[in-house]
A and B are shown apart, each in its own frame.
Chain A
């Protein structure tokens, strides 16, 4: 089965700083999803990447999938306290479109 490793496990940044979260797969990624989770709440879809070299942006968040399709990064520019939460990467696996998730990266943004 697919294993996703996220790094770092946790991150504390000062408001306004940029940061990057990485997600590395043991297998080729055919659909890579980024979600954000606030403690005790559901997962909020951020972005989906499919093609090698693909890059997508929404507001101050940019996600990339490398050419080999085994690593993805999530970059936040000029972080704000509203960016705080747990960021999860998820990969499609199998023929029934289930997602396998990484353990998540806990982001704290200090004002």
Chain B
């Protein structure tokens, strides 16, 4: 069964450094998402992406964050200057359509900012 893959599984970075989290969504899916989960807290929406542009973003997704689909298969989340509070598990998800279709999640990238 096709799945969403994320790399790396774990990333450690120093405060102020840039990180890029990578995702390969399911190939025939059209909608892409990033969510994050701070340890012990809810899974939170960051951004949705469709037709090569951001559809919606949350308050968390400020100017330090950006997303890109550089080719036909990858979907990336960049954090320009990481802060301690960016430490979290970041999940990529994709869905075939928008409404009323399930999101399929990757296994996540655990980002640790020191």
Residues of chain A having any CB pair with chain B under 8 Å:
31, 33, 35, 40-45, 48, 50, 88, 90, 92, 94-104
Q: Which residue of A lies closest to B49 (CB)?
A: A96
**B55 interface residue (CB < 8 Å to A):** yes
How many Å from the CB of B4 to the closest CB on chain A?
8
Q: Which residue of A lies closest to B97 (CB)?
A: A97
Residues of chain B having any CB pair with chain A under 8 Å:
4, 31, 33, 41-45, 48, 50, 55-56, 58, 89, 91, 93, 95, 98-108, 110
How many Å from the CB of A13 to the closest CB on chain B?
23
Chain B contacts for A31, CB-based, 8 A: 99-100
Chain A contacts for B103, CB-based, 8 A: 33, 43, 45, 99
Chain A contacts for B105, CB-based, 8 A: 35, 42-45
**Is A50 a contact partner of B100 (Cβ separation < 8 A)?**
yes
With A40-B110, A97-B95, A98-B45 given, can you name 12 additional A-B contacts, CB distance below 8 Å? A31-B100, A33-B102, A41-B108, A42-B105, A42-B108, A43-B43, A45-B102, A90-B43, A97-B98, A97-B99, A99-B45, A101-B43
How many Å from the CB of B107 to the closest CB on chain A?
4
Task: Give the CA-CA distance A31 to B56 in the complex, in Å.
Answer: 18
